């Protein structure tokens, strides 16, 4: 089985955990660029994942956040200097430049840069080379590569800050569903998952589309649109039953599956995967990264935070928990581990 060819060309019939390229091959190219997504597909990703935010003219684009100073060269553009501002996003004060203050044409004059230059200095060689892609461009890439490779490449979009965007008159749902429907994606059997850390937009989407929905959950806090709710409560048995009413699965922070000690070593299963499966939910944890900075203590290589440790072993341990998929910045490594586990 080659690294570029998962075990089954049809994701609906796949007999392996799905590999979701987290913002593309973001460990090796600046995230959320066509170059990053293309490399991820070449390395065998089953799904490519864009975080979606909106422009002033209502176009969906892929950025980790709507504040773009850490992922683009906007600060180097004097014509946009006056647009630096401070906003409250999900109850947090954020200063910078925001996609909703730019038209798509203006955003296309910017160029992407590496978000984590201290941890991924090699990626800075690509700074200034790539534009910000639209959701339509990402869908087109996936469909083109599906035809080219003979295997189905799925789309796994995340709605970023959906209640914030809805409040300023730029809701995700309309343009996102229109783009997906235009590509022929409407049913649960289609190669699409839609994810969100919020709850209300997923519940609303569940009545508007047959596409599969994923409730993201973090190890702390709670959904921005439900301040009275915590993720911990959502992961109770009753909470999982509630999620199963509108979603096909959860995307948990990986520490919710295998605990870590205070020193950062892996410390045993939480049993979450089994409880989710009992509730009829799939489990797609995030995020698997190769650098020591992100790895558990026993899998690090030396003390340099940017050195590469044993990501493959971490993935093997999580596959043994029975997960149904995983988000990874280094899809080539994950592909080899998943294929070898079959």
Q: Read off the CATH number of the domain in which 139 is found.
A: 3.20.20.190
Strands 193-196 and 60-62, sheet pairing: unpaired
Domain membership of residue 108 (yes or no) is no
Cα torsion angle, 140, 141, 142, 148, sign: positive
Quickly list DSSP for 228-280: T--HHHHTSHHHHHHHHTT-SEEEEBGGGTEEE-TTS-EEEE-SHHHHHHHTT
Asked if residues 24 and 31 have their Cβ atoms less than 8 Å apart, the reply is yes
Asked if residues 300 and 292 have their Cβ atoms less than 8 Å apart, the reply is yes
Domain membership of residue 4 (yes or no) is no
Strands 51-54 and 47-49, sheet pairing: unpaired
Of 7-16, 31-40, 89-98, the one with minimum mean pLDDT is 7-16
Number of domains in the chain: 1
Spatial separation of the C-alpha atoms in residues 26 and 204, rounded to whole Å: 30
Domain membership of residue 294 (yes or no) is yes
Query: What band does 10 get if pLDDT is binned at 50, 70 and 90?
Result: low
Q: What is the DSSP letter of 152?
A: P
Q: What is the pLDDT of residues 20-66, one digit of tens each?
A: 999 999 999 999 999 999 999 999 999 999 999 999 999 999 999 99
Q: What is the pLDDT of residues 73-89, one digit of tens each?
A: 999 999 999 999 999 99
Strand runs labelled E in 185-240: 193-196, 212-217
Q: What is the reported pLDDT for 294?
A: 98
Q: What is the reported pLDDT for 58?
A: 98
**What pTM was estimated for this model as a whole?**
0.95
Domain membership of residue 109 (yes or no) is no
Domain membership of residue 104 (yes or no) is no
In this predicted structure, the answer to whether residue 6 has a pLDDT above a threshold of 90 is no
Q: What are phi and psi of 193, to 5 degrees?
A: -125, 140
Tally Cβ neighbours within 10 Å of residue 339: 17
Spatial separation of the C-alpha atoms in residues 13 and 9, rounded to whole Å: 8
CB-neighbour burial class of residue 147 (10 A; exposed 0-12, middle 13-18, buried 19+): exposed
For 230, the domain range is 11-66+125-341
Q: Tell me the chain's radius of gyration from C-alpha atoms.
A: 19
Domain membership of residue 335 (yes or no) is yes
Domain membership of residue 329 (yes or no) is yes
Is 205 or 5 the better-scoring residue by pLDDT? 205
Angle at 18 between CA 200 and CA 1, to 5 degrees: 165
Percentage of the chain with pLDDT > 70? Answer: 96
Q: What is the reported pLDDT for 310?
A: 98
Domain membership of residue 212 (yes or no) is yes
């Amino acid at each position: 089985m080659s690294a570029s060819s998962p075990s089954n060309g049809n994701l609906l019939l796949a007999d392996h955990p799905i590999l979701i390229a987290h913002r593309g091959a973001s460990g090796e190219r600046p995230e959320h660029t066509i170059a990053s997504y293309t490399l991820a597909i070449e390395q065998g990703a089953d799904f490519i994942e864009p975080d979606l935010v909106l422009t002033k003219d209502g176009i969906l684009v892929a950025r980790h956040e709507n504040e773009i100073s850490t992922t683009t060269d906007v600060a180097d553009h004097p014509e946009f200097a006056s647009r630096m501002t401070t906003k409250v996003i999900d109850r947090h004060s954020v200063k910078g430049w925001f996609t909703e203050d730019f038209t798509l044409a203006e955003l296309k004059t910017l160029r992407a840069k590496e978000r984590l230059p201290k941890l991924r200095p090699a990626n800075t060689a690509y700074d200034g080379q790539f534009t910000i892609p639209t959701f339509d461009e990402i869908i087109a890439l996936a469909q083109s590569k599906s035809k080219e490779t003979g295997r189905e490449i799925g789309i796994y979009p995340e709605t970023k800050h959906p209640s914030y965007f809805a409040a300023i008159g730029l809701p995700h749902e309309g343009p996102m569903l229109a783009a997906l429907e235009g590509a022929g994606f409407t049913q649960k059997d289609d190669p699409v998952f839609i994810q969100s850390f919020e709850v209300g937009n997923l519940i609303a989407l569940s009545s508007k589309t047959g596409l599969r929905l994923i409730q993201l959950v973090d190890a702390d806090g709670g959904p921005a649109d439900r301040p009275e709710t915590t993720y911990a409560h959502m992961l109770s048995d009753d909470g999982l039953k509630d999620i199963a009413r509108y979603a096909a699965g959860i995307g948990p922070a990986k520490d919710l599956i295998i605990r870590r000690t205070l020193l950062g070593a892996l410390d045993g299963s939480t049993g979450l995967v089994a409880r989710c499966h009992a509730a009829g939910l799939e489990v797609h944890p995030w995020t698997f990264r190769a650098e020591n900075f992100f790895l558990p203590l026993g899998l690090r290589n030396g003390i340099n935070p940017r050195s590469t440790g044993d990501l493959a072993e971490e993935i093997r341990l999580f596959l043994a928990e029975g997960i149904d998929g995983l988000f990874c910045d280094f899809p080539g490594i994950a592909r080899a581990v998943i294929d070898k586990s079959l």
